[in-house]
Amino acid sequence: MSVPGEEKTEEERREIVRQVRQILTKVVTTPTIPRNIRRQAREALRYLADTKQPLALRAANAIDALNIALEDQQIPVLARSLILEAIGLLDMLAKEEG
């Protein structure tokens, strides 16, 4: 990976998106996570899949969807940890091109 603040290569950006998809897929497929949280994770995955939009915009939209999930006071610790990890990765992409 490159140094923080440096522009990432296309391969690094693809790897970050792959990691985020893996994290969000875990949220979506974990039955103990409430439906509303899983719904927001699915929405974030849809934003990431929309290749008509620039990657920075897709990442920012996914972050917005995940922040809605974090507003839930009853969010399980596992879901909160996974979502925060995904947001951290997405933030690198959103800031890079934006």
Domains of the chain: 10-97 (1.20.1440.50)
Q: What parts of the chain have a pLDDT lower than 70?
A: 1-6, 97-98
- Spatial distance between the Cα atoms of 1 and 13, rounded to a whole number of angstroms: 10
What is the pLDDT, as a whole number, of residue 63? Answer: 97
Q: What would the pLDDT profile of 36-62 be if each residue is shown by its tens digit? A: 999 999 999 999 999 999 999 999 999
Structure tokens at 22: 């893996």
What is the pLDDT, as a whole number, of residue 95? Answer: 85
What is the pLDDT, as a whole number, of residue 48? Answer: 97
- Spatial distance between the Cα atoms of 39 and 37, rounded to a whole number of angstroms: 5
What is the pLDDT, as a whole number, of residue 1? Answer: 46
pTM score? 0.89
